[in-house]
Amino acid sequence: MTDLQTATATQGVELAGVRKTFGSTVALEHLDLVVEPGELVCLLGPSGCGKTTALRLLAGFEQPDAGTIRIGGKDITSVPPRRRGFGMVFQDYSLFPHLTARANIAYGLRVRRTDAATIARTVDDLLEVTRLAEHADKFPHQLSGGQKQRVALARAIATRPGLLLLDEPLSALDAQVREHLRDEIRRIQRELGVTTVLVTHDQGEAMAISDRVAVMNTGRLEQIATPRELYRRPATAFVAGFVGTVNRVRARRGPDGSWWALGVPVDVIGDLVATDTTADRLAIVRPEQVEVRPAQAGARVVALSFLGAVTRLTLDHPEEGPLLADVLSESTDALRVGEHVSVTVRTEAGAVMLA
């Protein structure tokens, strides 16, 4: 184990004022990001927002044009990747094809000339933790996608890195395996307490796995918060729209200057403080905030999708147009396409926000 790794075990990482350009493309504008020791943070955002660039800067594969990268408070901006000693899992896993699962996992320890007994013990422990013991002697081509992913993860954490960097580690897997392995990554990460940064463009994945999610947009951090906070108190309209499903409805100003939408008061959030205008704006209402009651007139039911406990209704509202409502399935048993419902908003299910 290098001195740097010893120093960085269970320490936090920080990007401060980081800027990165490729020719005329600004990949990162000014990124400030702090990941606490032992925390799992997902970098989430649309394609091209700079997630991978941020991860590559952390790994040391790229150098920032400006700004500082610190781990445990120590400036590592100019430390080369090899000396950072971080664990990495890439989209394609990059396993050594000529090595068995066991030998792949042991690779980093062998390079560090760790003694044979320690290697055997560590690898056995990791085979156990990643539930790969029965596949230990298989080569990568004999493993399923999910098993390969777990070998890559075990290999990345074998050297007890101070920081684990995961670049879309689940993107090559089908939906069911993804969900299972997402939970596995989280379990293993928690068990080892390793500070982890994971890149994904899948908001469901980010919300399910993270302590906090960093939502990025065009090279900037829009918000970093717990999944719950992001969903309930998004700082920007971009975050609200990117995390979860939203209805956008008209917001109007009341005589006292307050904003209203669908008959309820609207919260003005973060950078959305309304300028002094009388023009209508848009408000964001989550489908689960929309409450419906059978009625003779009002919104028309266009479609019903049974999702289990909840049924998603697609409505055609006479003033707002299309609206999605997620309601408990038991309350929709008698409801049919073409019927009408009255629409209200349950404010106790979260604030309605101005977009």
In this structure, the strands spanning 163-167 and 87-89 are parallel
In this structure, the strands spanning 40-44 and 195-200 are parallel
Kindly tell me which of 13 and 266 has the beta carbon lying closer to ligand ATP: 13
Residue 164 CB, nearest approach to ligand ATP (Å): 18
Report residue 345: phi and psi, to 5°.
-120, 130
Which range in 47-55, 64-72, 113-121, 132-140 contacts ligand ATP by CB under 6 A?
Answer: 47-55
Which range in 19-27, 72-80, 281-289, 307-315 contacts ligand ATP by CB under 6 A?
Answer: 19-27
Residue 236 CB, nearest approach to ligand ATP (Å): 17
For tokens 């971009």, the residue is: 238
Which range in 45-53, 121-129, 184-192, 205-213 contacts ligand ATP by CB under 6 A?
Answer: 45-53
**Using H for helix, E for strand and C for coil, what is the string for 67-78?**
EEEEECCEECCC
CA 256 to chain centre: 39
Which of 80, 67, 79 is closest to 31 using CA atoms?
A: 67
Name the E strands within the chain: 13-22, 25-35, 40-44, 66-71, 74-75, 87-89, 163-167, 195-200, 212-217, 220-225, 247-253, 259-261, 264-265, 281-285, 290-295, 299-306, 310-317, 321-328, 340-345, 353-354
22, 254, 258, 303: residue in contact with ligand ATP (rule CB under 6 A) = 22
Residue 165 CB, nearest approach to ligand ATP (Å): 13
CB distance 45 to 221 below 8 Å = no
Q: Does 127 bind ligand ATP (CB under 6 A)?
A: no
Q: Does 49 bind ligand ATP (CB under 6 A)?
A: yes
Residue 144 CB, nearest approach to ligand ATP (Å): 24
In whole angstroms, give the CA distance from residue 61 to residue 164: 15
Kindly tell me which of 23 and 308 has the beta carbon lying closer to ligand ATP: 23
CB atoms within 10 A of CB 277: 8
Q: Does 52 bind ligand ATP (CB under 6 A)?
A: yes
Which range in 41-49, 116-124, 182-190, 296-304 contacts ligand ATP by CB under 6 A?
Answer: 41-49
CB distance 20 to 29 below 8 Å = no
Q: Does 281 bind ligand ATP (CB under 6 A)?
A: no
For tokens 């947009």, the residue is: 217
Residue 201 CB, nearest approach to ligand ATP (Å): 5
State which of positions 174-203 bind ligand ATP (CB under 6 A).
201
By rule CB under 6 A, what count of residues binds ligand ATP? 12
Residue 101 CB, nearest approach to ligand ATP (Å): 28
53, 100, 130, 196: residue in contact with ligand ATP (rule CB under 6 A) = 53
4, 35, 51, 155: residue in contact with ligand ATP (rule CB under 6 A) = 51
Q: Does 286 bind ligand ATP (CB under 6 A)?
A: no
List interacting residues with ligand ATP (CB under 6 A).
22, 25, 27, 45, 47-53, 201
